[in-house]
Structure 1
Amino acid sequence: MIDLTLIGIGTGNPDHLTAQARRAMAGADLILLPRKGSDKADLIDLRRTLCAGLEGPRIVEFDMPVRDGAAAYLGAVHDWHAAITALWRAEIEAHLPQGGSLALLVWGDPMLYDSTLRIARRLATSGMRLTIRVVPGITSIQALCAAHAIPLNPLGGAVTITTARMLRRHGWPQGATCVVVMLDDGTTLETLPPEGITVWWGAYLGMEAEALDHGPLALAAPRIARLRAQLRARHGWIMDISLLKKDQTDA
């Protein structure tokens, strides 16, 4: 039997790690750390920092498969998940042949636009005896609002959370006044009709490289696009998020 714990580690600041997360890490027999290539070395370095000083678990690193960016999106994602599932199984069989507790450190929180829970369910339905537990973490949405010192939702109103892909394909969600945009490739904000919209944007939230901007979308979107391109060129990768509000909402 494998006891799998998925641990939300926040958005890059070691102080985001909760006491519950620290206990779960310390109590694991094995922690698997994914390597995502030299251009994203910061991500594995952060996980190494979080694991430094742990005496109980064995720390094992593995190379993450790369999703086929040329194939149809959903099919490519399913194939990618299958490859990760097979890799997890191989690492578990190699390092926990008699069973035990395994921890995986998940950026932000496992419930929000992260596939770790889906991959864990694949593993559970593949014949491996597996229990799954989740330790929540600070999300990029929380970190963005904290960095700008703003509330997420309009007074008494709703929040729509979507991806940049969906926003480009379908436009502004019908009836929405407050929209969180995730997984952007840097091309989305300037495609929206900017009238009456304010944006709050952040990249590398919680990390030393944190960058913020906000303002009327017409003025801020080109500024953000330039800064985003500069940051991506400098670091080799970028994680960012935007909060868009129509001006009639209470910010």
Structure 2
Amino acid sequence: MKTIHLIGIGAGNPEHLTLEAVRVLNTVDVFFLLEKDGVGKDALLDVRRSILEKHATAKPWRVVTSSTPARDREAANYEAAVKDWRDKRSEGIHAMIANEMADGEIGAFLVWGDPNLYDGMIDSLLQIQAEDPNLGMDFTVIPGITCIQALTAAHRIPLNRIGESITITTGRLLEDMDPAEVTNAVVMLDAKRTYRGFAETGHTIYWGAYLGTSNQILARGPVGDVSAQIDQALDNGRQRNGWIMDTYILRSNAEPGDKKGH
């Protein structure tokens, strides 16, 4: 049997790994690192390698890297494009497990944040198991600190106010939401800077990038007051580091429980 661990590594700070994650790292024979094409890919690999050098000290291990396919971000059918991309990525992951692991070995993928939140690796491994039962592979999931937790900690705010629900969504879905219905929303994967559409809706933004690392950048305030600052931080961060990961919370200024017309 080949065992795969999906290990949540947080937002990039080596000290954000859980004790369970550190323990499991030290049982691994081969670490699979998926690299993205483009500027900044070396920096993303370096973060993961630094985590291994800091924490995986109990036994020898090896690293196998593979490029992930590019996703068609302009496709008219978003769901179909994502499925096609995941299918191609699963093919590469399957090949790595089949060709780079011996029976009885332990492998691991280092997953940004938590493997359960907007990642897809769990679905990929389930797909591989279903399509190739003869591979003899099983897997576990080791939770990690999410960018959401890192963001609220950095801003020293609770995730919700009293009696308030929480929406976790993407920038793509936020575009179609009625601002009046956005009371407390965590927004991830916002390549189009959708927060700009809330500049005059009375919302406050709590924004952060490179959370928990030495490059951490924070901004907070009424969206109309700080959106230009966030735009500049995004441009500067991408130019300086070649990549950027950011997350934010949008909150209406109405108190939880307030109703329209009251």
By the TM > 0.5 criterion, same fold? Answer: yes
Whether 2:68 is the aligned partner of 1:64: answer: yes
Distance in 2 (alpha carbons) for counterparts of 1:170 and 1:130: 41
Distance in 2 (alpha carbons) for counterparts of 1:194 and 1:173: 12
SS of equivalent residue, structure 1 residue 132? strand
Amino acid across the alignment from 1:124: Q
1:181 — aligned with what?
Answer: 187
Once the two structures are TM-superposed, the CA of residue 73 in structure 1 deviates from its matched residue by 2.1
Distance in 2 (alpha carbons) for counterparts of 1:172 and 1:218: 14
Runs of 4+ in 1 over 4 A off after TM superposition: none
- Asked whether the equivalents of residues 2 and 102 of structure 2 are also in contact (C-alpha less than 8 Å), the reply is no
Given the alignment, which residue of 160, 169, 173 partners 1:162?
169
2:259 — aligned with what?
Answer: none
Amino acid across the alignment from 1:117: I
Distance in 1 (alpha carbons) for counterparts of 2:109 and 2:221: 37
2:251 — aligned with what?
Answer: 245
- Asked whether the equivalents of residues 186 and 225 of structure 1 are also in contact (C-alpha less than 8 Å), the reply is no
- Asked whether the equivalents of residues 25 and 57 of structure 1 are also in contact (C-alpha less than 8 Å), the reply is no
1:192-207 equivalence runs, <5 A = 192=198, 194-207=200-213
1:24-35 equivalence runs, <5 A = 24-35=24-35
- Asked whether the equivalents of residues 199 and 222 of structure 2 are also in contact (C-alpha less than 8 Å), the reply is no
Whether 2:234 is the aligned partner of 1:228: answer: yes
Distance in 2 (alpha carbons) for counterparts of 1:194 and 1:117: 39
CA offsets per residue over residues 185-214 of structure 1, 9 Å max, x none?
A: 142011125332111000111122110000
CA offsets per residue over residues 142-170 of structure 1, 9 Å max, x none?
A: 00000011111111211111111001123
Amino acid across the alignment from 1:90: A
Using structure 2 for the length normalisation, give the TM-score.
Answer: 0.89
Gaps of 5+ in 2: 257-262
> Please, which moves more after superposition, 62-71 or 25-34?
62-71
1:107 — aligned with what?
Answer: 112
Distance in 1 (alpha carbons) for counterparts of 2:129 and 2:255: 44
Once the two structures are TM-superposed, the CA of residue 77 in structure 1 deviates from its matched residue by 1.3
2:260 — aligned with what?
Answer: none
- Asked whether the equivalents of residues 27 and 57 of structure 1 are also in contact (C-alpha less than 8 Å), the reply is no
SS of equivalent residue, structure 1 residue 179? strand
2:43 — aligned with what?
Answer: 42
1:3 — aligned with what?
Answer: 3
- Asked whether the equivalents of residues 197 and 216 of structure 1 are also in contact (C-alpha less than 8 Å), the reply is yes
Distance in 1 (alpha carbons) for counterparts of 2:178 and 2:71: 26
SS of equivalent residue, structure 1 residue 131? strand
Amino acid across the alignment from 2:164: G
SS of equivalent residue, structure 1 residue 232? helix
Given the alignment, which residue of 108, 123, 133 partners 1:118?
123
Once the two structures are TM-superposed, the CA of residue 58 in structure 1 deviates from its matched residue by 2.4
Distance in 2 (alpha carbons) for counterparts of 1:93 and 1:232: 36
SS of equivalent residue, structure 2 residue 73? coil
Q: Residues 60 and 171 (structure 1 numbering): CA distance in 2 closer, same or farther, change over 3 Å?
A: same
1:135 — aligned with what?
Answer: 142
Distance in 2 (alpha carbons) for counterparts of 1:210 and 1:241: 12
1:208 — aligned with what?
Answer: 214
Aligned residue pairs total 249
SS of equivalent residue, structure 2 residue 249? strand
2:20 — aligned with what?
Answer: 20
- Asked whether the equivalents of residues 202 and 252 of structure 2 are also in contact (C-alpha less than 8 Å), the reply is yes
